[in-house]
Amino acid sequence: MKRLQPLVIIALISLMSCENNNPEDFSHPILKIGGIAEFNNNDFEMYDSSAKVLYFKSYHPEFVDYKGSEFSFFADEVLIYKGYFWSSYSSSFPTTPYVTSDPFFFYQNHALGFEYLNQNIPDPRNDSRLMSAFKEKNLLHSGISVSIESVIVNGTQVIFSCLITNRDKDDLYLFDYDKMGTNLFHYYTNGLVFVNKTQPEIIYCLIDPHGPVPHNSWKMEWLSLVKSGESIHLDINYSLESPLKKGTYTAYFSYPGFTYQISKDDLIQGSGRIWLGEVTASKKIIIQ
């Protein structure tokens, strides 16, 4: 499914009406959306700094009406950064952070995911002032980290290994590759992608993704509970259509979670929370 979005990878390498009767609640807003809405700490459930997803305490069906709107984040009344609700139909990407909209399908209306593809300036989404503001209100969550341990390329065969660590204060339900199988797992991600910037060239590993039926269905049996502070290893064998040419490449791997499939009521399962979003790791490799 992700394979249909090559422009995202190219950009990567180049590089809510809300009523409130108490005016004091809006004296120090953290999130403003144009002249439409303002949200403060009392409206937020948490912010995941790994996936850059902001969760809200309530459903906000009006999110779908924000297409084309500008949003701004503040901390202690200081502007941290601005961005836009950006149409997924657009052939370009903004140089600022953005929220995919029109159609609004990445998350249900209890969460907003903030994306960023501009590598020319530092990523402002986890600005320390904003993180401090979230942390002060006990809203900051660390999510997961993904680190590539090894990428061994032998002709058209690739042996890939990475480590996924739960950095969050909560126990998290994460995709289990062994339970899902390679076809279903890779429906949610491009998996391993090689990029040669000097060509430029993008090389996808050979994958035949199979999505669930219906497409928005999901099962708890695909997930495993990873306790706070624990890690899991992920080992995958990939194939290439042809051997990589000599040169220096960057291997990108995106570890996925659910997005639009999960409602607010589904998030908490037993003693853990279903992690949403995607985290991408990279590693330089040399083909001689």
pLDDT in tens, 188-239: 999 999 999 887 889 999 999 999 999 999 999 999 999 999 999 999 999 9
Q: Can you give the pLDDT at residue 118?
A: 79
Angle (CA) 60-62-64 rounded to 5° is 110
Nearest to 45 by CA among 32, 35, 33, 59: 59
Does residue 14 carry a pLDDT above 80?
no
What domains appear along the chain, each with residue ranges and CATH number? 6-136 (no CATH), 142-287 (2.60.40.2970)
Point out which residues pair with 203 in neighbouring strands.
194
Cβ-contact 50, 287 below 8 angstroms? no
**Minimum mean pLDDT range among 5-14, 33-42, 170-179, 224-233:** 5-14
Confidence of residue 9 (pLDDT cuts 50, 70, 90): very low
Dihedral of the CA atoms 237, 225, 223, 274 (nearest 10)? -120
Distances (CA, A) of 91 to 45, 86, 94: 33, 11, 10
Q: Which two tokens stand for residue 194?
A: 């090689």
**% helix, strand, coil for the chain, step of 5:** 15, 40, 45
Q: Is 16 helix (H, G, I), strand (E, B) or coil?
A: coil
Any idea which residue has 């040419």 for tokens?
Answer: 245
pTM exceeds cut of 0.85: yes
- Other beta carbons within 10 angstroms of residue 129's beta carbon come to 12
Q: How far apart are CA 216 and CA 198, in angstroms?
A: 39
